[in-house]
Amino acid sequence: MPSPIAERLKPLTHPRRSWAALPNPTKFTLYTRVSLQVLTIFFLLFPSTDTSLFPHFLYSEANLTEEIIAGISAKQILSLLLLSAVIVSTNVFLARVPELNPNSTKDHHKVFRVGFILTLLLLLWGMSIALPDLHNKPLGLVIFSTSILALDYLPFIRHTWKITALLSLILAGLFLLSFQSNPTIGESDFRRGFFLGFILVYPAALVALTRLSLWSVNIIKQAERSAELQRSLTLTEERLRFAQEMHDTLGQNLAAINMKTELASALAQHNDSRLHGELTELQSLTRATITDMREVIKGYRNINLNTEIEGATSLLQSAGIRFNVTGSAETIPHRYQELSAWLVREATTNILKHSAAITATLNLDSASISILNDGAPTATKPLRLGGLKALEQRAYAQHNARLSIKRKGGDFCLTLHFDSPSGEQNPEERPRIP
């Protein structure tokens, strides 16, 4: 078993394998975070244009020892310290913010406050350096701190656009002052207008870039959650379908097995010669049930209307119920054949389980299929017809068919109407199966 240290170092020791194992939303989030962190480093190009801010050995081949002996000014030391602190705190904040690192458990608010304050201090420090001598002092620190604020901090606070507009005005004001101090930049109205337009739009563009990146990350995450939910719903739907098919397939046979068992027990008590025949039928029925169950599990279950009518006739007649069939299965439209077969199976099961029927009649035509039986429980007794409820939902959702129930005295009529005349039913008008 690998040690915790080895697990943490795995992205470094096996980068390609670790990257391939990441889910797509995590990859996109990581890519976005690294891009923002790289941009933060890239913005160092702005202050690097002012050589007075840093020791000369960063720009020339001067001897480091001689440079240190010559002395490094306090301004240069403070500039380096502030820049380093801003870079470090900003990158730590980007690594902890939940929008860019959902696995982060560390508090990012403190790092945000520290980084935000340091960046503001750097902005003020840059302004204090540039304002006294705009002719010779580039606005590198000002642009750098403005860029960091707009890219990495303002998108995560309230009143983002108001603060961004204020930042743009401050930056534009500094550039207007620099135009007056530096005639080379401000000698052309076109150049002046171009620079002003760019400066006014620049902070807002950076804020929009980060907001767009965060929005894209959120969209990717939502898409992944939707896909995961869809997979979960598909799995649940398949489980419900399987459970319903098991109910529809085994319910009828189990009811018949129960009836045959009771009959065989009664025959055995009276040493009736019919016992052997009933036990043989019971054995055949049990084998058929096992075969049906295996077919359902394997997903190869096919149901046929003619077969179901023959099975219902055999089962009901063996239970002492007279079963009449009017019409033929061929009159049922092809697209409703399977649904009608399930109706016959479910109705037969309910007759055996819930009624004391003497007679049952099956009517088939091109517009509907119905089963009428007597001996139904009185209306005061609620029927628990879960199978019919599922059949009703399947009929309406998949075939735009309508299932209805009529009860009158001891008669119970179950009818499946094919295509609704109106084409689509009002949900309030749909039959309600208890």
Query: What string of pLDDT tens digits covers the 434 residues of the chain?
Result: 556 666 666 666 777 777 777 778 888 899 999 999 999 988 887 776 565 565 544 444 444 455 544 556 777 788 889 999 999 999 999 998 888 887 766 778 899 999 999 999 999 988 888 777 665 556 788 889 999 999 999 999 989 999 999 999 988 888 877 766 655 555 566 677 787 888 899 999 999 999 999 999 999 989 888 877 876 775 577 678 778 777 777 787 888 888 888 888 888 888 888 888 888 888 888 888 888 887 776 655 567 899 899 988 988 887 788 999 999 999 999 989 989 998 998 898 888 888 888 899 999 999 999 999 998 876 555 555 567 887 888 888 777 889 999 988 789 999 999 975 444 444 433 444 44
d(CA 300, CA 292): 9
Q: Say if residue 147 is exposed, middle or buried (CB neighbours under 10 Å; 0-12, 13-18, 19+).
A: buried
Report the distance separating Cα 85 and Cα 96, nearest Å.
16
Going by C-alpha positions, the residue among 314, 364, 97 that lies closest to residue 210 is 97
| Location of structure tokens 């620190």 | 141
pTM, entire model:
0.55
Nearest-CA neighbor of 372 among 363, 364, 380?
A: 363
Q: Which residues of 96-127 are buried (b: 16+ CB within 10 A; e: fewer)?
A: bbebbbeeeeeebeebbebbbebbeebbebbe
Which residues fall within 8 angstroms of residue 378, CB to CB, at 6 or more apart?
A: 410
The rounded distance, in Å, linking the Cα atoms of 414 and 28 is: 56
Q: Are 341 and 308 in contact (CB under 8 A)?
A: yes
